Amino acid sequence: MPSADLVIRGGTIVTPSALVRMALTVKDGKVAAITSDENVPSAERVIDAEGFHVLPGIIDSHVHFRDPGLTYKEDFASGSAAAAAGGVTCIFDMPNNAPPTRDAATLRAKIEVASSKAVVDYGLFGLLSVGSLSDVEALSSSGVIGFKCYMGETTGKIPPPSDGEMLEQFSEVARSGLAVAVHAENDSIVRYLTQKLRAEGHVYPRAHYESRPQIVEEEAVGRAILYAKDTSCPLHIAHLSSAGGAELVRRAKTDRLPVTAETAPHYLILDESMYADLGSLMKINPSVKSRSDRAALWDAISDGTVDMIASDHSPHTLAEKTSQDIFEAASGFPGLETSVPLMLTQVNRGRLSLQRYVQLASANPARAWRIYPKKGCIEVGSDADITIVDLSARSRIESKRFHSKAKWSPFDGFEVEGLPAYTISRGKVVMDHGVVDTLRHGEMVVPGARRRVTTHSA
Ligand SMILES: [Zn+2]
């Protein structure tokens, strides 16, 4: 009888600090040993990872599965299958559902949905919105991974809290020991500019970018950082898109404030000149910005200002996504099945190292959201969440083959170099060369003991 459940041999293990030719032994869902290839025990399954890189499971800390409420766009089954297909072993789902995940009852309902459908592990965000103050404690004690505050308009039309209310909520979250992720856009400026552009008949795709100039993000990032400083509330800037926003995060880190930031592949690869070709398909909030913003975000990746990469997977139907009036088109696009290949392509092009990618996509999100070292690393005793990648595989993004219900993408047809070959969730292979095991059940991850956030920088 084999003594281990799974052995992965022949590959190169990538950690934030090293690349090592070692074999992994997995038992009962955990990493049981890290040894030389010769010293592995017999196992029920052996993966020959010769020529592949073995990464700690990729964590996508920002997705929208639309379940409950808007399951025609996506549900936990299709969304988590997309995660497995994309090489992602753990996702954090945002709370802008119908109804929003805003109190103990709606969180319970979401847990019921997720636990019956998820293929990979998941964390769940609780909502901070108008009237949320009294629900913070119940949500944090029920296991939310953190809180999400929409400072601007979003799918689900959740009204942003007033500045006073937001400040009070930050204080309450600080007491819970969790962190607040903000969608940092100034609602008032966006509304004003949108109305003006529409009145002038400017409803072409690029008008979306014109309605959200850099100051829209920069002002909100600055305000959120001031509130975090005042309340000592750990703050996370979701989907950073601008040079000005990045600079404010950089200064906050210099000032040793508890601030982390995430950006997404689309802000690192697309820019506003591409509205001409991609049209409404590339509409997302915050908007994709200029080439110089894109360059500034790469600098922020290099110097440690940006801590993590998340996809902001935001599925819609193609009909909702396409309109002659850009302001009528839905915001967001699916990202779970393109994020890892797009970023591995950037690794192959020399924009970042594979080790830096592991920091950004696994170790840092696990640390910031307090699930490290259960996840986010390959160590004896950690969950056996592993993403095995083939850096030499060349392909083209084919959105019609997505597992997501949204079978379209602004990246459709993009050439990629580097693909996930296996996705392994707590020792079970949930994706093998594109084939997903949808029978697998993911589990909810909850934040561990309170710890000071120290993420790996470049
Ligand atoms: Zn989002």
Contact between residue 154 and residue 127 where contact means Cβ atoms under 8 Å apart: no
- The CA 202 to ligand 1 mean position distance, Å, reads 26
Q: Could you tell me which residues are beta bridge partners of residue 51?
A: none
Percentage of the chain modeled with pLDDT above 90: 93
pLDDT tens readout for residues 220-249: 999 999 999 999 999 999 999 999 999 999
State residue 1's pLDDT score.
Answer: 72
DSSP notation for 93-161: E-S-SSS-S-SHHHHHHHHHHHHHH-SSEEEEEEEE-TT-GGGHHHHHHTT-SEEEEESS--TT-PPPP
- The CA 388 to ligand 1 mean position distance, Å, reads 26
Phi, psi angles (nearest 5°) of residue 187: -65, -40
* Both tokens assigned to 255: 């000032």
- The CA 254 to ligand 1 mean position distance, Å, reads 27
Mean pLDDT of 15-38: 95
pLDDT for 379 beyond 80: yes
**Per-residue exposure over 184-193, b if at least 16 CB sit within 10 Å of its own CB, e if not:** bbbbebbeeb
Residues 70, 62: Cα–Cα separation, whole Å: 17
Could you tell me whether strands 146-150 and 180-183 are parallel, antiparallel, or unpaired per DSSP bridges?
parallel
Average pLDDT, the chain: 95
Residues with Cβ within 8 Å of 211's Cβ and at least 6 positions away in sequence, in order, are 190, 193, 194, 197, 287, 327
- The CA 192 to ligand 1 mean position distance, Å, reads 22
- The CA 373 to ligand 1 mean position distance, Å, reads 25
- The CA 310 to ligand 1 mean position distance, Å, reads 9
Whole-angstrom CA distances from 164 to 170, 216, 219, 232 are 10, 19, 16, 16
